[in-house]
């Protein structure tokens, strides 16, 4: 049943991609099977000890050198920051029930920006809301500006959201618009991959 589900999903997505510029994912297993080899940043090299919280100014990237991260602790090419320029926060397990190191804006009603300095057309993330269930609206931007919007729920346990685009993604904006429970993020995946129609049959073969 698992292999049949993957096969049907791949075929449906391949048909959809024939005319689509962008595809969103909620199935992490499917996303990772279609776009293997992405770079992962799990923020585990943080300076914050277990079961703790740290607050520092952003952005958080490979050049960061503050109480939360030392320079080089985050892989090159990805950056997360508070959209409004306010402080960011780091939670380490099991503080507030998180199971992975999570990062995001310190203020519950602030937005989050992910940006990239390397080519990226596939991106996946876990959206974590330790204070309760909510959701985020997501805007995807490329070199020419705004591309498309999406939406994802967020929960204390974390919810996967992913995107593939046939042009480079330069940044993403995450906004938690209604409940003000605050959005945090864990286990980012990013990179530049071949289009789905060039990798579909390999993905099907590898799923059996």
pLDDT (tens digit per residue) in 22-81: 999 999 999 999 999 999 999 999 999 999 999 999 999 999 999 999 999 999 999 999
Q: Which CATH architecture has domain 21-195?
A: Sandwich (2.60)
Average pLDDT over residues 128-156: 94
| 31 phi, psi to nearest 5 deg | -55, -45
Which tens digits make up the pLDDT trace of 54-71?
999 999 999 999 999 999
Q: Examine the pLDDT at 16 and tell me if it is beyond 60.
A: no
DSSP code for 95: G
Q: Structural domain boundaries of the chain?
A: 21-195
8 A C-beta contact, residue 142 and residue 197:
no
Letter string b/e over residues 104-116, b meaning 16 or more CB atoms within 10 A of that residue's CB: bbbeeebbbbbbb
56, 50, 87, 83: which is closest to 69 by C-alpha?
A: 56
């Amino acid at each position: 049943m698992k292999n049949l589900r993957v096969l049907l999903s791949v075929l449906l997505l391949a048909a959809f991609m024939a005319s689509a510029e962008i595809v969103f994912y909620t199935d992490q297993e499917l996303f990772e099977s279609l776009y293997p080899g992405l770079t992962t940043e799990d923020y585990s090299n943080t300076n914050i000890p277990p079961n703790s919280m740290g607050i520092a100014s952003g952005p958080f990237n490979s050049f960061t050198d503050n109480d939360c991260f030392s320079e080089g602790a985050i892989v090159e090419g990805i950056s997360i920051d508070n959209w409004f320029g306010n402080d960011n926060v780091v939670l380490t397990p099991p503080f507030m029930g998180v199971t992975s190191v999570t990062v995001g804006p310190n203020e519950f009603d602030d937005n989050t920006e992910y940006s990239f300095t390397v080519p990226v057309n596939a991106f996946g993330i876990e959206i974590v809301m330790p204070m309760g269930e909510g959701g985020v609206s997501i805007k995807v931007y490329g070199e020419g500006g705004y591309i498309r919007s999406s939406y994802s729920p967020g929960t204390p346990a974390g919810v996967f959201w992913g995107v593939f685009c046939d042009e480079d993604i330069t940044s993403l904006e995450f906004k938690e618009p209604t409940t003000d429970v605050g959005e945090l993020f864990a286990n980012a995946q990013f990179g530049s991959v071949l289009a789905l129609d060039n990798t579909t049959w390999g993905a099907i073969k590898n799923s059996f």
